């Protein structure tokens, strides 16, 4: 299946907020709509810290992928982190998420990205297989750790 991959713009905010709310509900992430909008709007306005892509037709997207950008000495320059990826449950299992993850390097080709990272729960074997199909490899000696402020 070939899904469209559209850079999200300010006019897509309402559609994206709806998809993100569905993902957050599925994952048990509690966030107000205002906080969600505040987190997404700058990405759609073109801040250099990240981008959001709609998966499927922009009028009626079936998912999204959000990437944030950083700098890595280890990887030799700019890197990206898949902050969130979501495909509506009714269309899962058709290779859409794999296709989106495979399209990311092409979408970022001109930006000089050296590596793309993704976080996955140790117990989520389905997601691990999806990410492996898209070329991601585990870093066995490493563990992502976070500290909230």
- SS3 call for 44: helix
| Distance, C-alpha 130 to centroid of its chain | 13
Could you tell me the pTM of the whole model? 0.92
pLDDT in tens, 23-34: 999 999 999 999
2 band by pLDDT with thresholds 50, 70 and 90: low
pLDDT in tens, 79-98: 999 999 999 999 999 999 99
| CA–CA gap between residue 120 and residue 82 (Å, rounded) | 10
pLDDT in tens, 116-141: 999 999 899 999 999 999 999 999 88
């Amino acid at each position: 299946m070939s899904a469209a991959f559209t850079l999200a713009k300010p006019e897509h905010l309402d559609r994206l907020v709806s998809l993100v709310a569905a993902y957050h509900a599925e994952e048990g992430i509690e966030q107000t709509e205002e906080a969600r909008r505040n987190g997404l709007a700058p990405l759609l306005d073109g801040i250099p810290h990240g981008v959001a892509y709609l998966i499927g037709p922009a009028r009626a997207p079936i998912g999204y992928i959000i990437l944030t950008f950083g700098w890595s000495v280890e990887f030799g320059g700019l890197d990206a982190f898949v902050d969130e990826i979501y495909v509506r449950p009714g269309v899962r299992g058709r290779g859409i998420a794999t296709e989106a993850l495979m399209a990311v390097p092409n979408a970022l080709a001109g930006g000089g990205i050296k590596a793309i990272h993704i976080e996955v729960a140790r117990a989520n074997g389905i997601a691990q297989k999806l990410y492996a199909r898209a070329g991601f490899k585990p870093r066995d000696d490493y563990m992502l750790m976070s500290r909230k402020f």
